[in-house]
Amino acid sequence: NILGKIASEINLGRIFTSLKQYEKAENYYLKAIDNAKSITANPRLQKAYQAIADVYKKTNQPWKALEYYEKYIEINAIVMGEENEVNHKNLQTKHNLEKSKQEAEIQRLRNEELKKANDLIEAQTKHIIDSITYAKRIQEAILPLPSELLKYADTSFVLYEPKDIVSGDCYWFTDQICEDGTERVIIAAIDCTGHGVPGAFMVVMANSLLNEIVNEQKITEPGLILTKLDEKIRNLLHQDTAGEDTSTQDGMDLTIFNIDFENGIDFENGNMLFAGAKNSAYQVRNGEINVIKGSPFPIGGNQFKKGTKIFETQYIKMKEGDMYYMATDGFQDQFGGIDNKKFTKKRFREYLLSISHLTPQEQYETLHKEFYDWKGNFAQTDDVLVMGLKC
């Protein structure tokens, strides 16, 4: 009797389920399902589907449990429809109740699977953020502190606002005793391609190479520093040997000052050397703001042939009351204001002129407030770096 065989298989499945021998239970339930299908024994099929779904639930196989619960619901509807018309109303009520329970169970299984996925995503996100935060500590340890600049120029400020945890902008400075015996401070404001983690890699590279060029090789002329930096970046990133389609365009824009210090700034003999790579600096003198133009070439990239870049060194005679600024493009490119437009380079220059009479600390505070007032609730567009030096 095949019905008896099906009943025995289901009972054996239940016994092995109670003994937690789930693999054997699964085998008996699958046999019962095949036999019940062969003779369209829907009531037996209903029981087998429900029982095997429970096995999959207990063995932490939510998607299989979901599959057989859904089959159970389908066959349950058929069985209910085959019941005696006399009991139809009661059976329909029972069916609806069972269906609600099973749908709730299906939803629970779905929610459980979603929760597992969300937990995994959260764990991975935390791991990534922890790694980036650790990278930030490394980046901060490598770069000089803004307060260290005050040892050489106590009338200076640094506004540094990374877009992400780590930054693609950085400032760099060092002091050197040159061949003529003068103490000179070399200061750079650097804007690497990208921001976040990609930009941070370039920042570490820039910092390391500038230390090598200036502190180890004792090269202090700004134009020559940029030439050497460009050569080293192109070599490290194989930008002169790889094809145009495979080589990276990564590099950096920057401005660099070489300042003659003698017990602070010597206004009689003091001078400043400047060079820029696809960026300019600003000088405020006698109520006017002047652009100190850099060369039109970036550091790195293969859009210019090797040997065609010329980074010129400019001589600037400092005067008491001068204000000098170095900045990346993050401030001027920030979207905000009433119409969510860029701050713009023109507005940025005008704003620097309007605050140039303030002390460096007051300028820092004013710039910081202006940036966040302008940005408002909009996302930060890029890393921001502004450096100021008052004579």
Chunked into runs of 10 residues, the chain (391 residues) has average pLDDT values of 88 90 91 90 90 91 88 86 61 77 82 80 69 65 71 79 85 80 86 77 89 93 95 87 66 92 52 93 96 94 79 91 94 95 96 96 96 95 93 81
Judge residue 4's burial from the number of C-beta atoms within 10 Å of its C-beta, 0-12 exposed, 13-18 middle, 19 or more buried. Answer: exposed
- Tokens representing 265 are 């700034």
104 three-class SS: helix
281 three-class SS: strand
Contact 132, 165 (CB under 8 A): yes
pTM of the model: 0.67
Residue-level pLDDT at 191:
93
Residue-level pLDDT at 86:
44
Pairing of strands 299-300, 251-261: antiparallel
Residue-level pLDDT at 229:
96
List C-alpha distances in Å: 273 to 58, 184, 258: 76, 10, 5
Q: Identify any residues that bridge with 326 across adjacent strands, giving them in sequence order.
A: 387
- Tokens representing 20 are 């937690």
Distant-in-sequence, close-in-space partners of 209: CB < 8 Å, separation ≥ 6? 229, 232, 233
Distant-in-sequence, close-in-space partners of 48: CB < 8 Å, separation ≥ 6? 6, 9, 10, 13, 29, 32, 33, 36
List the domains of the chain with CATH numbers. Answer: 2-117 (1.25.40.10), 148-390 (3.60.40.10)
Residue-level pLDDT at 263:
44
Give the Cα separation of 317 and 304 in Å (integer): 32
Q: Residue 272: in which H helix or E strand, if any?
A: strand 271-277
Give the Cα separation of 240 and 308 in Å (integer): 12
- Tokens representing 369 are 């407030």
Residue-level pLDDT at 195:
65
Number of residues assigned to the chain: 391
